[in-house]
């Protein structure tokens, strides 16, 4: 089945929106983990990243 141009444009907009939302999730995780950089506590950095990701994923409309 061939999609119309408007369907293709709509899908591209949805893909772009989802991509940007997931970038925000990744950014939040990186920023949270970065606060632990140089402190020697890898588990705390991981926990901070996971918590930030969970919080941001709640805002992603999938």
Tokens at 56, concatenated:
């941001």
Flag whether 11 is in a domain.
Answer: no
Flag whether 9 is in a domain.
Answer: no
- Measured distance CA(45)–CA(61) in Å, rounded: 26
pLDDT of residue 1: 61
Flag whether 2 is in a domain.
Answer: no
Flag whether 59 is in a domain.
Answer: yes
Flag whether 47 is in a domain.
Answer: yes
Return averaged pLDDT per consecutive 10 residues of the chain, 62 residues in all. Answer: 78 91 98 97 98 96 83
- Measured distance CA(46)–CA(43) in Å, rounded: 5
Q: How many structural domains is the chain composed of?
A: 1
Flag whether 48 is in a domain.
Answer: yes
Flag whether 60 is in a domain.
Answer: yes
Whether the Cβ atoms of residue 38 and residue 17 lie closer than 8 Å to each other? no
- Measured distance CA(36)–CA(57) in Å, rounded: 21
Range of the domain at 51: 19-62
């Amino acid at each position: 089945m061939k999609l119309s141009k408007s369907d293709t444009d709509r899908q591209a907009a949805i893909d772009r929106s989802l991509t940007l939302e997931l970038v925000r999730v990744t950014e939040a995780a990186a920023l949270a983990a970065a606060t632990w950089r140089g402190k020697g506590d890898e588990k705390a950095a991981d926990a901070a990243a996971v918590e930030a990701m969970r919080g941001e994923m709640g805002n992603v409309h999938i």
